[in-house]
Amino acid sequence: MIAPAQRLALTDRLLESQVTTQLAETKRASLQRLSVDAQGGHVTLRGCVGSFYEKQIAIQACRMLSGIEQLTDAVEVAAAY
């Protein structure tokens, strides 16, 4: 029998994998480099993208998945000089 804490950790890893796959399917390199962390249905995206548009794509990709109870957007947009 799997303990509840282990089951939760497995669920979190599965959710991280699903988000990572969803971001990879966008075919945008900057989204594929984002860090994904999941804890109890709370997903955090971290990293840097080239535009606000790419940031919105990342957020929308996460919204398409079930199992995400809360999404924290810690993605930064690189400043254009």
Q: List the pLDDT tens digit at each of the 81 positions of the chain.
A: 455 556 667 889 999 999 999 999 999 999 999 999 999 899 999 999 999 999 999 999 999 998 899 999 999 999 765
pTM of the model: 0.84
Nearest residue to 48 (alpha-carbon basis) of 65, 71, 29, 61: 29
C-alpha distances (whole Å) from 30 to each of 24, 45, 52, 69, 78 are: 9, 12, 12, 24, 11
Range of the domain at 69: 4-77
pLDDT of amino acid 4: 58
CATH number of the domain encompassing residue 29: 3.30.1340.30
CB 28 within 8 A of CB 54: yes
Three-state DSSP at 57 gives helix
Total domains in the chain come to 1
Q: Whole-angstrom Cα distance, residue 50 to residue 54?
A: 7
